Amino acid sequence: MQLQLNGSLACSEFSKRSWRLAGSCAALLLFASPVLAHHLEKQFTVQSHPLITLHNPSGKVIISSWDKPTVMVVADHNSPKVEVDAEQVGNRVDVVTHLIADDISPDELRANYVITVPEDSELQIHSDSGTVSISKILGDMSLETVAAGIEAEDVGGYVVVQTVGGGFQCMRCTGRIEIHSISGDIRLVDDHSSYIFAQTSTGSILLDGDFLANGVYRLKNYSGPINVSFSPTDSFDVDATSFYGKVDNQAKLVPARRPNRRIPSFARGLFGSFNQGRAKLELSSFNGIINIHKRD
């Protein structure tokens, strides 16, 4: 009897717990459902060298390649005050986050994208804040952000980057690279590029890649450090000047000539050739430190 009573009680308790669990699950689904409500998934068949444009005020953007002649766009957002849209015009796919209300908070602006494209695609990306990640794209690309950081890996085309405060990192990049930023840090690692121009005002610049014969590498900033790494077999002419900072050099340079331009007497300058001087390295800082160090 006791056992039976206990069994009834246990059964009743189990039933209560089940209802509570079911209630919790229902509540969870209810609250979770808006996330799933704003989901876009579209595919477009394209020719070779398609152009993909993206305009997104805020959010995470991931772009990578595959071996299909197809562009796939997957987008998610929480707020009903924005709308994501993707459409094809010829060999171009335009992806846009539209604002459909006036009073939108920064959180409500957010839309996240995962875009998969053919390897030879060209990209034109504008994203104000969030992050932009790009990998294994060989076409040219133009990337503009305000605060969003950009990470690129294994890209091969002509890359033009403009940010206000967002950083930029390029790993194993092989095409021409131009970067303009105001306070973003710039990291160029394991690149194999014949032309790099990087400019930031207060951000730092790191160049740790190959110096190609006849390659030109121009790094310029205002107050952050400029760090360049080299190997004993590298070959470059270097022209480094810091107005009010200093130049710390570990490369044994053969003094070649004075620079063509006039520099003030108080500025720290360094000019000369390392090995045969096949590449050209121009480093300029207003009051930051320039480090030219041997690669570890």
Partner 1 sequence: MAAMHCKDFWLFSSEWLEGDRNPAAIAHLAGCPACRALITDLESIRNSAHLLLEEEPPARIWPAIKSQLEKEGLIRQPKKSFLERLFPATAFRPALAGAYLSFLIIAAAALGFHMNSVHSAEQQSLWLANAQDAITPVATELGSAERKTLPALQAPGNDITATLNHNLAIVDNMISLCEKGVRQDPQNEMMRDYLYSAYQQKADLLAAAADSEGR
CB of 87 to partner 1, least distance (A): 9
Query: Where do contacts with partner 1 occur on this chain (CB under 8 A)?
Result: 51, 53, 55, 57-58, 92, 94, 96, 98-99, 105-106, 109, 124, 126, 128-129, 142, 144, 146-147, 162, 164-165, 180, 182-183, 199, 201-202, 220, 222, 241, 243, 261-264, 267, 284, 286
Secondary-structure breakdown of the chain: helix, strand, coil percentages, each rounded to the nearest 5: 15, 50, 35
CB of 97 to partner 1, least distance (A): 8
**Which residue number, 2 or 260, has a Cβ lying nearer to partner 1?**
260
Q: How far is the C-alpha of 114 from the C-alpha of 203, rounded, in Å? A: 29
DSSP state of 120: T
| Chain centroid offset of residue 84 CA | 21
**Which residue number, 59 or 175, has a Cβ lying nearer to partner 1?**
59
176: enclosing H helix or E strand: none
**Which residue number, 184 or 209, has a Cβ lying nearer to partner 1?**
184
On whether the CB atoms of residues 125 and 142 are closer than 8 A, the answer is yes
Tokens representing 23 are 């209630």
CB of 86 to partner 1, least distance (A): 12
CB of 290 to partner 1, least distance (A): 14
CB of 267 to partner 1, least distance (A): 7
**Which residue number, 96 or 216, has a Cβ lying nearer to partner 1?**
96
CB of 241 to partner 1, least distance (A): 7
DSSP state of 110: B
Q: How many CB atoms lie within 10 A of CB 137?
A: 25
8: enclosing H helix or E strand: helix 2-37
**Which residue number, 130 or 209, has a Cβ lying nearer to partner 1?**
130
Buried b (16+ CB within 10 A) or exposed e, 35-67: eeebebebebebeeebbbbbebbbbbbbbbbee
**Which residue number, 5 or 262, has a Cβ lying nearer to partner 1?**
262
